[in-house]
């Protein structure tokens, strides 16, 4: 059987999760009477210390609802150049909210308060209005890196002082919390809104949530319907998410340990480089930069898939492996052996 490390989104619902789904009481969420969705929304809002939450089909939708609620067409969002909202949300800040994005550089997917100050535009009839700061935690393309709480507080404070609102793309905020030892609520407290995903490391088949102030979430509910995200007996999915919150948060530490193990085992293969290096492996992601002599990242991934290990290209010369609920330590050791011998065979 293939060892699938393309993403932590590939997990299959566990038997216990499937049972929880089958047992869930259901209603019609568009008509407002879905008891299991209501239970999930109340639970995640409380966990994150926010007034209200909205269940969404995807993390992309949760982020885009936040952007739609915080901004007006012509506004500018400030975000790191490696952000998911820039690379992987199909241009939706422009398409759905009419926004442009000012991207900031910085190591580990992070930047400081000075960079935020410098990016914020003055009030001038020529300029877009700087409106929203988006922080991603963990930061996917930077290597699953974790924002330190104090550093994030400082950048959020800089944005707020200048009149911007703050959104956290917390698709993997639970990973950050387990790795850094801060609570999800303490990190969420720096922002107006936070999106979290249940379908990444937490192992649910579908589902994310947008959390924030009650009036904003009421508006987001309307936009969710407008974007085609109104769901009916969605308690079936919400039950899986509740199960994930109850059973799959603490165990993320295993995924992080497995990612470090994988990085250790993949270190030093000729023609490849851990990027970030071993010291930068903070959560469940490992990135390898590939020398052109081995081919493109996509070609290497195709060759790996042929020998039973699936990874994903993230750029022309970089491949990503993500650890998750469905790969244990033994699978990681097996995968590393396969990758090593395949790449050694391909080395010039």
Q: Which residues bind ligand TLP (CB under 6 A)?
A: 7, 9, 58-60, 63, 84, 88, 136, 140, 169, 171, 197, 199, 208
**How many residues are recorded in the chain?**
348
Residue 80 or 260: which CB sits closer to ligand TLP? 80
Q: Minimal distance in Å, beta carbon 96 to ligand TLP?
A: 13
Q: Minimal distance in Å, beta carbon 332 to ligand TLP?
A: 18
Q: Minimal distance in Å, beta carbon 92 to ligand TLP?
A: 10
Q: Minimal distance in Å, beta carbon 138 to ligand TLP?
A: 7
Whether the CB-CB separation of 242 and 43 falls below 8 Å is answered with yes
Q: Concatenated DSSP letters for 285-304?
A: EEEEEE-GGG--HHHHHHHH
Residue 222 tokens, joined: 């309307």
Q: Which residue is nearest to ligand TLP (CB)?
A: 59
Q: Minimal distance in Å, beta carbon 67 to ligand TLP?
A: 12
Residue 58 or 153: which CB sits closer to ligand TLP? 58
Q: Minimal distance in Å, beta carbon 195 to ligand TLP?
A: 7
Select from 114, 90, 115 the least CA-distant residue to 104.
115
Strands 272-274, 285-290: parallel, antiparallel or unpaired by DSSP?
Answer: antiparallel
Residue 120 or 132: which CB sits closer to ligand TLP? 132
Residue 7 or 177: which CB sits closer to ligand TLP? 7
Residue 9 or 103: which CB sits closer to ligand TLP? 9
Q: Minimal distance in Å, beta carbon 208 to ligand TLP?
A: 6
Whether the CB-CB separation of 197 and 5 falls below 8 Å is answered with no
Select from 151, 204, 200, 157 the least CA-distant residue to 180.
151
Q: Concatenated DSSP letters for 181-211?
A: ---HHHHHTTSSEEEEESSSTT--SS-EEEE
Residue 4 or 29: which CB sits closer to ligand TLP? 4
Asked if the peptide bond before residue 276 counts as cis, ω within 30 degrees of 0, the response is yes
Whether the CB-CB separation of 82 and 56 falls below 8 Å is answered with no
Give alpha helix (H) positions in the chain. 15-23, 35-48, 59-70, 84-87, 92-97, 113-119, 149-161, 173-180, 184-188, 214-226, 235-247, 252-266, 297-306, 329-346
Q: Minimal distance in Å, beta carbon 146 to ligand TLP?
A: 13
Residue 120 or 259: which CB sits closer to ligand TLP? 259
CA distance 98 to 93: 6
Residue 120 or 179: which CB sits closer to ligand TLP? 179
CA distance 330 to 303: 22
């Amino acid at each position: 059987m293939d060892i699938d490390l393309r993403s932590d989104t590939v997990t299959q619902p566990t038997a216990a999760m499937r049972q929880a789904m089958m047992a869930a009481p259901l209603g019609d969420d568009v008509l407002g009477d879905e008891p299991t969705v209501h239970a999930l929304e109340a639970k995640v809002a409380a966990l994150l210390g926010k007034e209200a939450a909205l269940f969404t089909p995807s993390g992309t939708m949760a982020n885009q609802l936040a952007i739609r609620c915080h901004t007006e067409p012509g506004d500018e969002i400030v975000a790191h150049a490696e952000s998911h909202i820039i690379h992987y949300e199909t241009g939706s800040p422009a398409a759905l909210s009419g926004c442009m994005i000012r991207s900031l550089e910085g190591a580990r997917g992070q930047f400081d308060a000075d960079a935020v100050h410098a990016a914020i535009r003055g009030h001038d009839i020529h300029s877009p209005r700087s409106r929203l700061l988006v922080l991603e935690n963990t930061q996917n393309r930077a290597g699953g890196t974790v924002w330190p709480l104090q550093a994030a507080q400082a950048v959020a404070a800089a944005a707020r002082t200048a009149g911007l609102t703050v959104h956290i793309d917390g698709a993997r905020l639970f990973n950050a919390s387990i790795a850094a030892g801060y609570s999800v609520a303490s990190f969420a407290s720096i922002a107006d809104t936070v999106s979290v995903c249940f379908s990444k490391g937490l192992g649910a088949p579908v589902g994310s949530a947008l959390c924030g102030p009650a009036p904003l979430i009421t508006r987001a509910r309307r936009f969710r319907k407008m974007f085609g995200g109104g769901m009916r007996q969605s308690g079936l999915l919400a039950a899986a998410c509740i199960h994930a919150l109850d059973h799959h948060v603490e165990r993320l530490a295993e995924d992080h340990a497995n990612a470090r193990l994988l990085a250790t085992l993949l270190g030093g293969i000729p023609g490849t480089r851990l990027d970030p290096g071993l010291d930068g492996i903070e959560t469940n992601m490992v990135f390898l930069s590939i020398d052109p002599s081995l081919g493109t990242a996509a070609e290497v991934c195709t060759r790996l898939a042929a020998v039973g290990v699936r990874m994903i290209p993230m750029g022309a010369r970089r491949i990503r492996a993500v650890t998750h609920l469905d790969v244990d330590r033994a699978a990681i050791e097996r995968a590393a052996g396969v990758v090593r011998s395949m790449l050694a065979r391909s080395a010039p």
